A = this chain, B = another copy of it.
Amino acid sequence: MAAEKTDFTSKDYYFDSYAHFGIHEEMLKDEVRTMSYRDSIMKNKHIFQDKIVLDVGCGTGILSMFAAKAGAKHVIGVDMSNIIDKARLIVEENGLADRITLLKGKMEEVVLPFEKVDIIISEWMGYFLLYESMLDTVLLARDKYLSPNGKIFPDTATMVISTIEDAEYKEDKLNFWDNVYGFKMTAIKEAAMREPLVDTVESRVVNASQCVFKTIDILTVQKADLTFNVPFEISINRDDYVHAFISWFDIEFRACHKPVRFSTGPFSRYTHWKQTVFYTRDTLTVCKGDTIKGNISCAPNSENPRDLDITIDYQHSGKEESSEGHMEFRMC
């Protein structure tokens, strides 16, 4: 659970949530995630053969070991979490200690044994792609260490928005606070309304087209591009109600011989990223063919840069009803 906090560096010092194996268990057991990385590395030995590889945020070392097995000359894994102490034992146990060097520390502070690397691998994605994300760190590593013509795995991320009918769950998550064993808890309902909900959404409740609102080319994107305000337009595909916008992201390893892709959307297999739900204050009555246009913005919170400020503005012009709204969220 996240919480009020002001001094992020100090908090990190005292609370290293990635040190506990539980979070790595969840990520490793996410087969969509881990097998996409495995396939993109192990099925592309011709790309990894004799290369110098940098693994940004190596965690348990799984991606570094995939790269070593794929023939890399040397792999450097960097992580600031104490989990790297276990990763060292794991790399040793699997007989890869001579080909993998693990460095504990921040990317901007560690001293790499190579001036340049041929390939950067990293699993940096957070909820809503950018939450608590390490993408800034990947970009830093790219600009400092990646050779010209170097590759990044993965190299493309796209962010998608759509709408859902979600009366039952909205009742459970938000209207619950209207009557808690006979008491009203509006202060908590307001807090819950301001925070996007990360949860699995069933594909059958999606009632509109999917709009890609942001495409990120990891090879060229700049940190400033991760603060954005972009338009979207979606088309309702049945007579229904809209209770929320949802967002998810898709990931591509285009550098592969045969591109590897996975989606964290509701039409694909479960991933630990689930989807991100933004409840509207009012329910929209929508008809097949209606259009919802809007803008979605995303920026690191000024107090705590790991939190995200997200806004959604929308205009719905429909056969039965038209409306517009401005919604502000903080992902924390």
A-side interface residues toward B, CB under 8 Å? 1-7, 10-11, 14-25, 28-29, 34-35, 38, 60, 62, 65-66, 69, 82, 86, 89-90, 93-94, 176, 180-188, 191-192
A4 CB contact (under 8 Å) in B19, B24, B66, B184: B19
Main secondary structure of the interface of A (DSSP, over half): helix
Q: Which residue of chain B is the closest to A7 with respect to CB atoms?
A: B14
Cα distance, A14 to B3, chains bound together (Å): 9
Q: Given the known A-B contacts A1-B22, A25-B176, A186-B89, are A14 and B14 also in contact in the complex, defined by CB atoms under 8 Å?
A: yes
A94 CB contact (under 8 Å) in B66, B176, B183: B183
Which 10 A-B residue pairings sit nearest by Cβ, starting from the closest? Answer: A89-B187, A11-B14, A1-B20, A3-B19, A86-B187, A3-B16, A1-B17, A21-B188, A94-B183, A90-B185
24 contacts between A and B (CB under 8 A): A1-B20, A1-B23, A3-B16, A3-B17, A3-B18, A4-B82, A5-B15, A10-B14, A14-B14, A14-B15, A21-B188, A21-B192, A24-B188, A25-B192, A28-B180, A28-B181, A35-B181, A38-B181, A60-B180, A65-B183, A69-B182, A90-B186, A93-B186, A94-B183
Cα distance, A128 to B192, chains bound together (Å): 29
Cα distance, A48 to B69, chains bound together (Å): 69
Nearest CB in chain B: distance from A288 CB, A: 35
CB contacts (< 8 Å) of A86 on chain B: these are 185, 187-188, 191
Q: Is the CB of A15 within 8 A of B28?
A: no
Cα distance, A62 to B179, chains bound together (Å): 12
Q: Is the CB of A62 within 8 A of B183?
A: yes
Q: Is the CB of B60 within 8 A of A188?
A: yes
CB contacts (< 8 Å) of A17 on chain B: these are 1, 3
Q: Given the known A-B contacts A15-B15, A65-B183, A180-B28, are A188 and B1 also in contact in the complex, defined by CB atoms under 8 Å?
A: no
Q: Which residue of chain B is the closest to A23 with respect to CB atoms?
A: B1
Residue among A4, A34, A65 with the highest chain B CB neighbour number at 10 A: A4
CB contacts (< 8 Å) of A2 on chain B: these are 20
Q: Given the known A-B contacts A19-B3, A20-B1, A22-B1, are A29 and B176 also in contact in the complex, defined by CB atoms under 8 Å?
A: yes
CB contacts (< 8 Å) of A11 on chain B: these are 14-15
CB contacts (< 8 Å) of A69 on chain B: these are 182
Residue among A3, A20, A35, A90 with the highest chain B CB neighbour number at 10 A: A3
